[in-house]
Structure 1
Amino acid sequence: MADDWQNAMDHAVALARRAGEVVREALQHDRKVMTKSCSVDLVTQTDQKVETLIIQSVKEKFPTHRFIGEESVAAGEACVLTDSPTWIIDPIDGTTNFVHAFPFVAVSIGFSVNKQMQFGVVYSCLEDKMYTARRGNGAFCNGEPLQVSQQQDVKQSMIATEFGSSRDPEVVEKIFSSLKNILCIPVHGVRGAGTAAVNMCLVASGCVEAYYEMGIHVWDVAAGSLIVSEAGGVLMDVDGGELDLMSRRIVAANSRAVAERLVAEIDAFSPPRDDAPPLKP
């Protein structure tokens, strides 16, 4: 079965490169913008085109596999992770970046079996950086091994986060409360690439010591979570418990010491789970 998963991973890398070509071409010619849940939750025709490209290709090659795709879920499909081989796809992670031509846009493809990530592929299209990880085989960028930072002192650390798309005043208050607490530890700085997948790859690369966020989705972090762990990092919930990919909450760090120090400062909240049943009208 290992060879089957390697074949799937090789196909994912090839698809991510094809998707990257579509994204780069669209940046030059077509960035028509639509909205989903609110005026700042953006989607483009390119998001939909890339997701269709990936899913159709995978269905042809692996007809028994399942899918969780950002745009498919937005269109009404259930977001349920089963034990079956499942591709977890974010066709454009960093859609707002894409709309504004801000130069961090990623294609994220994760693959899960028995609810455990088996490989992750994140292609930062405009940087031409291909991040990959296979369970038990390490993490790489353009074929070069990745290793998280060895810094254990949070006061000497760089932290990554994002503000999300919710503009609910209570949510925004908690986001800024966490940011204030962490800045005042104090840490060296707080940054954000505008894409969860790239932020996690920066942790894996040792550029930042940790990334945390509440309000992301499983397709944002599925691939990146394995890349972080295979680069020697740790994953947990913002309350310090075990990471649940469906919870929409994550801390990804170079070490447990840094992660737990951040957890102590995060003003946590719980967005609706990705696998929550739809609200009845």
Structure 2
Amino acid sequence: MTITIGQVMDRLLEQTPLIEPTVDSLRAGSAQKEVKGIVVVFMATQAVIERAASLGANLIITHEGTFYRHQENMQGAQDDPVIYEKYNLIDRSGIAIYRYHDHIHRSKPDGITLGLINALGWSPYVEEHLPAATIVQIPCMTLERTVQYLKEKLQIAFVRVVGEREMPCSRIGLLAGYRGGAALVLPLLMDYNLDLIIAGEGPEWETPEYVRDAVHQGRNKAFIALGHAESEEPGMKELAERLREQFPALPVHFIREKPLFFVM
């Protein structure tokens, strides 16, 4: 049976009430085209698009924008040689790109955060799912051991940490993606009596500096920045697994990009 790109999009959207306005949309290609294969990614980088083409896939489902802006407004970008080359690659390959960001975050619980929780094996310790965070209470570990655990489970080389290595961690707030700012985090630390915040990223001069001062005052607080992609890729990997179940006749691949940053 023929499955179109539009049918795959409809299946994704039927699990969450429609959101307007939203960045979720078909960024390249036609909804009427038959799907030959699906690639699910955190971000449709140049290397990912090339890999998708080599796999014979013609639909990429990406969480973040393909052209480096959240709203992906292309005004004035036509003269940029990097954008021009990437746009031409998409056009030549005939690959459709669907942005799936807002709706997966608005599912209950947040599908991206849930993927992170499952990857860490912390689902038995969930205390409460909030719209932008999840509160967990895990068996107590030192901050240093918690960092080691995160690196092992998520298969990442490094994280960035504020706090004392030997401080005990049990009550944790998880915030996937760009949710590490003070407006979200500081009320969580107070209202839920948290020891540790684990976030993808956020302004460095907000939550990390708050935690630095808290530690200086002798308070048991810490902050870990996993990286944006590192915190959200597990949710997209779980999405790929669900799509394999929903569309068993289609090849569905999850592609994890190489880490963006390295430590010198």
TM-score normalized with structure 2 length: 0.26
Greater C-alpha radius of gyration: 2
Higher relative contact order (CA 8 A, sep 6+): 2
TM-score under structure 1 length normalisation = 0.25
